[in-house]
Structure 1
């Protein structure tokens, strides 16, 4: 960052490379700060589970948090163990280095503001104070702030296009990974310790999601007496479900979890209009897995969305 606090525009060389030795050095340094790190594939997606690792709901399935396998379950594989980090990079030398955000000790104890100019994101000096910062390889920035010690949702920053909050249940790519499209390095622009979020930013980040309408209490997946779903009566529940699932399939990386929540709200309205509850949950679960979301995050999105639409079981 400059002395004014505004991030220096990323102007690194294009078509650079970062070898396994660079990755290992950076990963061990991050682990030394207490940051749990893991590897992504070359396209920024989590590495596939190993063949011996059962999926959720299959025989022998286990808690992703307790999975002993080296790179399974995305950010659940994040670690500060030097031995495990060395083994990860030896197995996947072309991977991208990532850190699990959110509260420590599961996460790095940071909240990251992810600014993507390609989607309209802009640095706002009145909102975002100077702190540890990276250039993301696509002309954007990651601003690392200290976690406030209370739950922080990973979601788009309210009222800001192209700016996301990566916190509990999230992750970001770290230097010296190479951006899969631009082939430019992620790199540190400011290496100070993460600062506390400015008060206005903290207030925005911690603001609860805005509910579309008050949710009546329901039982057994059926609507309360006289309840009409927001936006009027759903005349074609199947068409609404199809549209919601299509939105999840189209969602770009970085917005998939948020889109899944919105889709689940739509499916909940379809269920209130007569669509089968079990089929709706099954379709959302499959769509979430296809969008590279963990079963835990899928369950959380569906549960929150159904509750916000007044649908409980």
Structure 2
């Protein structure tokens, strides 16, 4: 069991997530940290993924390598720890954004489609419900309002911010429900998986 205890630095928190197999990168409140060389040289997702620069190409720089993570956190002192979602990490996050998301999420919960799972809180009513991705053979597209107004999906091609960072949206410090990232992660409800999946590889 991995817990974040003691004085929590950005590096310590990021390394904790990486040990769970979740690729992390450090975001900022700037639009793009990609260097000018990489902006010119790299044009495709495959290029971005092959790039070895520590901070270039945002989510594509996500890694579980402790040395690269240490370099990221040294370069950006007050960044936002982010975890890549989708098959890369085995995670799908359903984001509830009030006020519309509170109503939409309530309907989903009442229908039994949002089982209890690992949860990141962004304030009192907003947050991210984290579920297991079904695997590399199934693509789940990230997108806003995919499960109703104010209920966004972060999966393949996406990412979510993590504690102990501050939310870009609310400015509040993100926190784990239950104060730990060790809670069991539930699978997506079969009805939600049927709704969200894009295709199954042959």
- Tell me which interval the TM-score lies in, with the shorter structure as reference length: 0.7 to 0.9
- Determine if contact 2:17/2:24 at 8 Å carries over to the other structure: yes
Q: After superposition, what is the alpha-carbon deviation per residue over 1:115-143, rounded to whole angstroms, capped at 9, x for unaligned?
A: 11144443432211111111024741111
- Determine if contact 1:40/1:96 at 8 Å carries over to the other structure: yes
Aligned partners of 2:81, 2:123: CA distance in 1, in Å?
13
Which one of the candidate residues 159, 162, 178 is aligned to 2:166? 178
Alignment partner, residue 36 of structure 2: 51
Alignment partner, residue 152 of structure 2: 164
Q: How far off is 1:94 after superposition?
A: 0.9
Aligned partners of 2:27, 2:124: CA distance in 1, in Å?
17
User: What SS does structure 1 have at the residue aligned with 2:152?
Assistant: strand
For 1:114-129, list aligned pairs within 5 A. Answer: 114-121=95-102, 122-123=105-106, 124-125=108-109, 126-129=112-115
Alignment partner, residue 75 of structure 1: 59
TM-score normalised to structure 2 length = 0.80
Aligned partners of 2:42, 2:60: CA distance in 1, in Å?
18
Alignment partner, residue 64 of structure 1: 48
Alignment partner, residue 15 of structure 2: 28
Higher strand share: 2
- Determine if contact 1:137/1:183 at 8 Å carries over to the other structure: no
Aligned partners of 2:184, 2:140: CA distance in 1, in Å?
20
Q: CA 1:40–1:137 in 2, change beyond 3 Å: closer, same or farther?
A: farther
- Give the unaligned 5+ runs of structure 2: 1-6
Whichever of the two has the greater Rg, that structure is 1
Q: After superposition, what is the alpha-carbon deviation per residue over 1:22-57, rounded to whole angstroms, capped at 9, x for unaligned?
A: 2111100000000000011136x4x42123324357
Q: How far off is 1:207 after superposition?
A: 6.5
Alignment partner, residue 28 of structure 2: 41
Q: After superposition, what is the alpha-carbon deviation per residue over 1:156-194, rounded to whole angstroms, capped at 9, x for unaligned?
A: 354511011111101111111112353311111054131
- Give the unaligned 5+ runs of structure 1: 1-19, 209-313
Aligned partners of 2:169, 2:132: CA distance in 1, in Å?
30
TM-score normalised to structure 1 length = 0.53
Aligned partners of 1:120, 1:145: CA distance in 2, in Å?
18
Q: Does 1:194 align with 2:185?
A: yes
CA RMSD of aligned residues (A): 2.4
- Matched pairs, number: 181
Q: CA 1:113–1:95 in 2, change beyond 3 Å: closer, same or farther?
A: same
Aligned partners of 1:170, 1:112: CA distance in 2, in Å?
9
Alignment partner, residue 120 of structure 2: 134
Alignment partner, residue 111 of structure 1: 92
- Determine if contact 2:62/2:84 at 8 Å carries over to the other structure: yes
User: What SS does structure 1 have at the residue aligned with 2:86?
Assistant: coil
User: What SS does structure 2 have at the residue aligned with 1:76?
Assistant: helix
Alignment partner, residue 87 of structure 1: 71
Higher helix share: 1
Q: After superposition, what is the alpha-carbon deviation per residue over 1:248-289, rounded to whole angstroms, capped at 9, x for unaligned?
A: xxxxxxxxxxxxxxxxxxxxxxxxxxxxxxxxxxxxxxxxxx
